[in-house]
């Protein structure tokens, strides 16, 4: 739980946002769609969507707009 508390404190400054915070804000399905387009274009495994993110999108955990993503939202 201390990890989540520290992450919430870091959200006070937009320069400290990490990729999982940004993914929760813009919705995980957007990130996976963009990764799929990059992978299709360049065929580089580096551009493929991370498996964890894909599983979260498949489970409906899209971020702030659905109430859960990397973090729970009330």
DSSP 50: P
pLDDT at residue 9, as a whole number: 55
Residues of the chain where predicted confidence (pLDDT) is lower than 50: 1-3
pTM of model > 0.85? no
Cα 41 off chain centre by? 22
pLDDT at residue 24, as a whole number: 75
Contact yes or no for 70/25 (Cβ under 8 A): no
Q: Where does residue 49 fall: left (phi above 0), alpha (psi -120 to 50 degrees), or beta otherwise? A: beta
Q: What three-state secondary structure class fits 4?
A: helix
pLDDT at residue 10, as a whole number: 53
């Amino acid at each position: 739980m201390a990890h989540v508390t520290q992450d919430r404190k870091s959200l006070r400054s937009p320069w400290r946002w990490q990729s999982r915070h940004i993914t929760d804000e813009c919705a995980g399905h957007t990130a996976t769609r963009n990764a799929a387009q990059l992978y299709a274009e360049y065929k580089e495994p580096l551009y493929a969507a991370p498996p964890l993110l894909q599983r979260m999108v498949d489970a409906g955990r899209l971020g702030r707009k659905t109430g859960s993503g990397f973090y729970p939202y009330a």
